[in-house]
Structure 1
Amino acid sequence: MADSKSTEPAAAPASDKHAPSAIERGLESFLFKSRWLMAPFYVGLVVSLAVLLFKFVLLLWENVIHLPTAKESDIILGVLSLIDVCLTGNLVLIVVFSGYENFVSRIDPNGHPDWPEWMTKVDFAGLKQKLLASIVAISAIQLLKAFMNLDAGYDSTKLAWLVGVHMTFVVSTVMLALSDRWTSDH
């Protein structure tokens, strides 16, 4: 005959399968707060933007100084170098804003009507896509610069490597986009 007062604990409700202990809550709180250790990385990337700006100004000045004697191909190569630095700066900004928003803390755009709309809406999948698209664009600029320098004597091995690396970036970007699309559909 079964005893009406069972010594077995009552089953936990389905929504509360595990009540965390004080140690577990403390550890989780510590781990959650550790995300702030990433903030100095993003500040360092902002400093790297200043370095890129300095390099951009030097390249621009060099292009302006050599303008009277430059050939058309030299001007195009100079502009491509400026675009390359600009795209790299854009890449850094994407990482700073999206990384901070996704991994450290939400950014409140209220009161800042001039902030780009994408800044607080890029999730991790979108961040990966933007990063890879920027890398492909930078790689394409490098490849275009190499093609523009074909007259100056080209190294077929170096050109083959540039094409191979660029195609690797392109294929990787397409595969990641397809993978993200397939996983979001299922």
Structure 2
Amino acid sequence: MANQIEKSFEKTLFGSRWLMAPMYLGLVVALGMLVFVFVHEVANYLPLVPSMNADKVILVVLTLIDLTLAGNLLLIVLFSGYESFVSKLDVAEASERLGWMGTVDFSGLKMKLIASIVAISAIHLLKRFMEIGKGKSDIGFGNSELMWLVVIHMVFVLSGVLMALMDYLTARAKK
């Protein structure tokens, strides 16, 4: 009887992983939101292209890259998280399956996540630095705000380096 209760408990516990499925669907909605914002940005700037200077075009491109990296980050978390914690994705033929799918473990997911965050932070910081001295009153970034952007970016970089170091030491200890 106790063995049956234990098996039932373990089945329930294992089945609870499906409670994560709505969260992954929420990430799909978030990806749709990013696509909407991306298309909106392109639609807003496209008519302005003839009057844009090189700096403005670069800022627009950086904004679009920023949104794309955020979308890539969402896909990595969506696919890797679902496959790691809920169920394997059996929807694509072998030729269509993304090369990294099914191979990214939690450690790899952490590294991809922090690398994406550092890249997004770096692009945001670069955009702000490019806006210095352009006379834009709507930016609202003074020296203090820029300093904090740099500090936050460096915290992300340091976190990434420390995570990589921890993964290296863990892998080395296993050998």
Does residue 151 of structure 2 align to residue 164 of structure 1?
Answer: yes
Tell me what 2:62 maps to: 80
| Matched letter for residue 62 of structure 1 | N
TM-aligned CA deviation for residue 103 of structure 1 = 0.3
Task: Give the Cα–Cα distance (whole angstroms) in 2 for the partners of residues 65 and 26 of structure 1.
Answer: 62
Taking structure 1 as the reference length, the TM-score comes to: 0.86
Taking structure 2 as the reference length, the TM-score comes to: 0.91
Q: Name the SS for the 1:166 alignment partner.
A: helix
Cα deviation 1:17-60 (Å, max 9, x = unaligned): xxx72212111110100000111111111111111111001111
Residue pairs, 1:23-38, within 5 angstroms: 23-38=5-20
Task: Give the Cα–Cα distance (whole angstroms) in 2 for the partners of residues 56 and 112 of structure 1.
Answer: 30
| Matched letter for residue 54 of structure 1 | F
Q: In structure 2, do the counterparts of structure 1 residues 70 and 185 end up closer, same or farther at CA, with 3 Å as the change threshold?
A: same
Q: Which one is further off, 103-112 or 24-33?
A: 103-112
Q: Which runs of 5+ in 1 are unaligned?
A: 1-19
TM-aligned CA deviation for residue 96 of structure 1 = 0.4
Where has structure 1 moved over 3 Å in runs of 4 or more?
none
Task: Give the Cα–Cα distance (whole angstroms) in 2 for the partners of residues 137 and 34 of structure 1.
Answer: 34
Residue pairs, 1:1-186, within 5 angstroms: 21-108=3-90, 111-152=93-134, 154-186=141-173
Cα deviation 1:100-136 (Å, max 9, x = unaligned): 0100012237624122110111000000000000000
The Cα RMSD (Å) is 1.4
Q: Name the SS for the 2:89 alignment partner.
A: coil
Q: In structure 2, do the counterparts of structure 1 residues 56 and 29 end up closer, same or farther at CA, with 3 Å as the change threshold?
A: same
| Bigger relative CO (Cα 8 Å, ≥ 6 apart) | 2
Task: Give the Cα–Cα distance (whole angstroms) in 2 for the partners of residues 61 and 95 of structure 1.
Answer: 28
Q: Name the SS for the 2:21 alignment partner.
A: helix
Do the aligned residues in 2 keep the contact of 1:101 with 1:120 (CA within 8 Å)?
Answer: yes
Tell me what 2:138 maps to: none
